[in-house]
Every structure is written in C-alpha cells, then in structure tokens.
C-alpha cells in the first residue's frame, strides 16, 4: 500500500503563509517559526514525479536532523525541534541569496565544465591533468545564486561581493563555516565507509547572527561514493559506486525521460515505487549507521498535525 504524503494543507495555529517547494512544504508561523514538512514527493531533472515514495520524507528529515545536531558546535543552525519523523521546526531566518557548494572531487557539473576545456569554475582555478572523480588537492567552494525560478547559476566570490549579495566580511564567515561543516561531514562519512564528494549548504540570518538552514548531508543535497574500490575504479576510469538518488535518474533516462520538452514521465509501477522506498531506507542506514524505524503510517497527516500542534501550542 502506497501511503506516501505528496500534498499537505494544514491550518496550524499562528499560520501566516505557506511555501511549497519540490519536496518540502514550509509553513510560516507568526514570522517566528518555520514548520518544514518533508513530503514523500521525489524530483529529478527539475520535475516532480507523479508518485510519492513511502518513507522518503522521514529518511531525508531524520538524516538532516542528525547532521544538524552533529555540526551545531561549528555553526548555529535553524533547527529547534523535530516533533514528528517528517517534520523539523526551526527559526525563521532571512536566507542569503547564494548557496555554498563545496566540492572535494572533480565530478558532476564541475567535471562537465572541466571536460569542455574550462580551467576556472566560479573564479576558482582548476589544476590541469585531472580525471573524472579525482580528489582535489583541497576542497573548492563553487557558489551558486539562489534562483527563485529556474536553475541556480554559478557565481564567483568576487561577483557575490561586487553585487552586494553578501558583504565581504560575512562571505568570509560563510566560507569558514562551509569548510568546517564539510570536514565534519567527511569524517562522519569515512566512519561509515563512504566519501562525501560534494554538497551544498544554505545559510540565513536572524537578529544579526548567521545560521545554517535547510537540510544538510542528505542523499538529495549531497553526493557520496563508496570508499571501498574507489581507487581501483578511478585507476580504470570506471564509474564510481554512488550512494545517492542517481539510480532514479538512471531509471528515467533508460525509460526515455530527461525532463526535456515533449518527454513524458514513464509509468511508475507499485513495484518500482517500493524499490525506490527500500533504496532510500538503505541510504539512511548506510549514511547514519542507525537502523531505520518506520513511523506509524496508518494516518500520517493526522499524526503530523497532532505532533506539530502540540509543539506550537506550548511555544506560541
């Protein structure tokens, strides 16, 4: 039975507005708290697929909560509580208009740019003679603008400061936090036999203080390689074994869909949906080292409403 949550429409106390992203529904409570519900929607190629994936929201929310807690000594973060397996409640911050992308390895977008002959990415020089998936001498930060619509765009540190998106002093602080969080994530991944390849962080500001916001180190926001066999595959120019939702993209490509005009999303059978659900649970257990406990799923929306209501009634 597919009990995935793909839509929410809650009337929480103190509600001022609702923002619905590709995967998350974010409720603004009195311009003070954000209630982020991580739905079971799944997106690929900038398209939300027609069926939800049971337990995906719980997986992503609980991974993010674990890593937010594990990095709170480095930088304050927006999380206050996680009253339900699919929900995080936190401080409402004013987001910076840039995303801090950090890359430890030459892969994905960076590799495509490199392969086309570019040796500069977001103002960062790239060494000659590298191959796909090779480790950089030091992690590089390649920020993007935070687009309200469409794709985020690469941007350099100098351009961010020139445009006044972030002050020079605050940008230096964002870079410092980005490197420190990535180093912590790299250590935690290594303990689980994984390589944290690249990821992105979003930051915001409240009462003059910088906060880490949104999710971190989930398979939707980060790329992981398996450490075992990494060197051999690199040596043989073979694709790396990834721990990410890349398998969903591959299935779509094999079935003739890459998000281009005129293409139709292939039929998602119940068997396929359940396979994706099991893969997400496998991701959770590998990344966190914890056993996944499936939350009660008989009436998920009512469960979420009661848990969030209980928190808000005590705090507003």
- Tell me how far apart the terminal alpha carbons of the chain are, to the nearest angstrom: 37
Chain mean pLDDT for the chain: 95
| DSSP code at position 151 | -
Question: What is residue 147's predicted lDDT score, i.e. its pLDDT?
Answer: 65
Question: What is residue 243's predicted lDDT score, i.e. its pLDDT?
Answer: 87
CATH of 95-243, one of 3.30.470.20, 3.40.190.10, 3.10.20.30, 3.40.50.300: 3.30.470.20
User: How far apart (Å, rounded) are the C-alpha atoms in residues 178 and 141?
Assistant: 8
Flag whether pLDDT at 151 surpasses 80: no
Question: What is residue 148's predicted lDDT score, i.e. its pLDDT?
Answer: 61
Question: What is residue 1's predicted lDDT score, i.e. its pLDDT?
Answer: 47
> What confidence tier does 2 reach under pLDDT thresholds 50, 70, 90?
low
Average pLDDT, stretch 203-216? 97
Structure tokens belonging to residue 259: 């998000």
pLDDT tens, position by position, 241-299? 998 888 898 899 999 999 899 999 999 999 999 999 999 999 999 999 999 999 988 89
pLDDT tens, position by position, 49-76? 999 999 999 999 999 999 999 999 999 9
User: How far apart (Å, rounded) are the C-alpha atoms in residues 276 and 167?
Assistant: 42
Separate counts of helices (H) and strands (E) for the chain: 8, 17
Average pLDDT, stretch 7-29? 96
pLDDT tens, position by position, 110-119? 999 999 999 9
Comparing CA positions, the residue from 78, 89, 77 lying closest to residue 10 is: 89
> What confidence tier does 45 reach under pLDDT thresholds 50, 70, 90?
confident
> What's the residue count for the chain?
316
Beta strands in 167-208 (DSSP E): 194-206
95 or 45, greater pLDDT? 95
pLDDT > 90: what percent of the chain?
90
Beta strands in the chain (DSSP E): 15-20, 24-29, 33-38, 43-44, 47-48, 79-84, 87-91, 94-95, 98-105, 120-121, 124-125, 135-141, 144-145, 194-206, 209-213, 222-226, 242-243
Question: What is residue 3's predicted lDDT score, i.e. its pLDDT?
Answer: 81
Structure tokens belonging to residue 187: 């250590």
Average pLDDT, stretch 205-232? 95
Look-up of token digits 């398209």: 47
Average pLDDT, stretch 11-18? 97
User: How far apart (Å, rounded) are the C-alpha atoms in residues 224 and 282?
Assistant: 13
User: How far apart (Å, rounded) are the C-alpha atoms in residues 158 and 94?
Assistant: 22
The pTM score is 0.92
Q: Which CATH class is domain 15-92+246-315?
A: alpha beta
pLDDT > 70: what percent of the chain?
98
Q: Is 42 exposed, middle or buried (0-12, 13-18, 19+ CB in 10 A)?
A: buried
Cα separation values, 297 from 6, 55, 286, Å: 14, 9, 23
Question: What is residue 21's predicted lDDT score, i.e. its pLDDT?
Answer: 92
User: How far apart (Å, rounded) are the C-alpha atoms in residues 74 and 71?
Assistant: 5
pLDDT tens, position by position, 27-38? 999 999 999 999
Question: What is residue 51's predicted lDDT score, i.e. its pLDDT?
Answer: 95
Question: What is residue 244's predicted lDDT score, i.e. its pLDDT?
Answer: 82
Classify each residue of 60-81 as buried b or exposed e, where b means 16 or more C-beta atoms within 10 Å of its C-beta.
bbbbbbbbbebbeeebbbbbee
Show me where the domains of the chain are located. 15-92+246-315, 95-243
Question: What is residue 146's predicted lDDT score, i.e. its pLDDT?
Answer: 77
Cα separation values, 207 from 27, 32, 175, 188, 249, Å: 20, 11, 20, 31, 40
Average pLDDT, stretch 78-106? 98
């Amino acid at each position: 039975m597919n009990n995935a949550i793909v839509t929410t429409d809650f009337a929480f106390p103190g509600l001022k507005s609702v923002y619905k992203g590709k995967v998350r529904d974010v409720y603004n409570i009195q311009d003070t708290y954000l209630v982020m519900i991580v739905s079971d929607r799944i997106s690929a190629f900038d398209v939300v697929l027609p069926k939800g994936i049971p337990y995906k929201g719980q997986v992503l929310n609980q991974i993010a909560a674990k890593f937010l807690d594990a990095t709170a000594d480095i930088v304050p973060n927006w999380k206050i509580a996680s009253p339900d397996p699919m929900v995080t409640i936190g401080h409402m911050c004013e987001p910076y208009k840039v995303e801090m992308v950090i890359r430890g390895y030459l892969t994905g977008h960076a590799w495509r740019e490199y392969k086309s002959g570019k040796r500069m990415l977001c103002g960062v020089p790239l060494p000659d003679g590298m191959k796909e998936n090779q480790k950089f001498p030091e992690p590089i930060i390649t920020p993007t603008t935070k687009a309200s619509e469409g794709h985020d765009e690469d941007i350099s540190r100098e351009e961010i400061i020139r445009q006044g998106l972030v002050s020079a002093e605050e940008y230096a602080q964002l870079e410092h936090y980005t490197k420190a969080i990535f180093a912590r994530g790299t250590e935690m991944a290594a303990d689980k036999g994984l390589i944290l390849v690249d990821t992105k962080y979003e930051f915001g500001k409240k009462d003059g203080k910088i906060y880490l916001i949104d999710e971190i180190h989930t398979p939707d926001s980060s790329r992981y390689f398996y450490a075992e066999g990494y060197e051999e595959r690199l040596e043989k120019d073979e694709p790396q074994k990834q721990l990410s939702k890349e398998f969903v993209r591959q299935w779509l490509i094999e079935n003739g869909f890459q998000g281009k005009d005129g293409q139709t999303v292939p039929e998602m059978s119940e068997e396929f949906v359940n396979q994706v659900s099991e893969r997400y649970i496998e991701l959770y257990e590998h990344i966190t080292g914890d056993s996944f406990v499936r939350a009660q799923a008989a009436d998920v929306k009512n469960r979420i409403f009661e848990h969030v209501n209980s928190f808000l009634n005590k705090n507003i």
